[in-house]
Structure 1
């Protein structure tokens, strides 16, 4: 009986990375690359803002796999990964048809697997703009974003 009480007490103390959100719907995500900021909006009202890290070559639109750039343009949140190597992650629908055509026109692969994610689970001491083209926030912030932003949400990434 004591073990059951102790076990239930310990599970009550653990903190889950999966939060719930009951506020206004996030209708759009805007990432301003030049300011290194991301905004979660309900129509025109900013609900939350975050400082972000970008790809290791942050200037310009992602053109092909391995260029280290974060895409620019309009995309959708199209998937989520609760078991990500980066705490939690939500996928961005890059590449679109235009991105694919542009990369193929020069004989390259446009790449993919662009996410908004937390910090890596296996590394520390990361400096600014360290991703391979993704958008990174602090882990606690990613927990909020993961709960607030639903699949199908519009993401606009500006230069």
Structure 2
């Protein structure tokens, strides 16, 4: 009888220790007002999630490694400027989590074509992940054209946004 009790206690302790070591989920719940617009002001390095005219959350952001000017073609290191839409979610991003921006639009594609280049794509709001944390220590603007926030912050953003929400990216 004592042997069974010791075994039960030992197994219970192992289960408890295993549960304590489990990392918290990066997927958060959000039950507040709907985000109706995202505004990024590149010059201030700020991103705002709004419900109507009310700011729900604001974040410091990192931008493309060439932070001034509108993205013209793939590989130019610039973050686009203009009105786009949230169009996809990537739970397996190498930058923790990521939310897609609908770049390029028709005007972006036409401009790149006129320059004899490809407009590119894969513009996201994303976290840092291990790789981004290393880059961000050296330079706030380290992405290839994306908008970067801290990992804890992208968890909030990911939970708060829905497909179709407009994102306005100002110079």
Q: TM-score range by the shorter chain?
A: over 0.9
| Residue 155 (1) aligns with residue 167 (2) | yes
Change (3 A) 1:131 1:7: same
Post-superposition shift, 1:8? Answer: 6.1
SS at match of 2:158: helix
The alignment status of 1:15 with 2:24, answered yes or no, reads yes
Q: Mark the runs of 5 or more structure 1 residues left unpaired by the alignment.
A: none
- Cα shift at 1:157: 0.2
The aligned residue for residue 94 of structure 1 is 103
Question: How many residues are aligned here?
Answer: 159
Higher helix share: 2
Q: Report the CA distance between 1:97 and its aligned residue.
A: 0.7
TM-score normalized with structure 1 length: 0.93
Hey, what does 1:35 align to over in structure 2?
A: 44
Could you tell me how far apart the structure 2 residues matched to 1:149 and 1:124 are? 23
Matched, 1:3 2:11: yes
The reply on whether 1:48 has 2:57 as its aligned counterpart is yes
Distance 1:36 1:122, change over 3 A: closer
User: 1:120 Cα deviation (Å)?
Assistant: 3.0
Note the C-alpha offset of 1:11: 3.5
The one of 71, 74, 94 equivalent to 1:62 is 71
2:4 aligned partner: none
**1:78 and 2:93 are equivalent in the alignment:** no
Structure 2, unpaired ranges of 5+: 1-7
Backbone CA RMSD of aligned residues: 1.6
Distance apart, 1:152 and its partner CA:
1.1
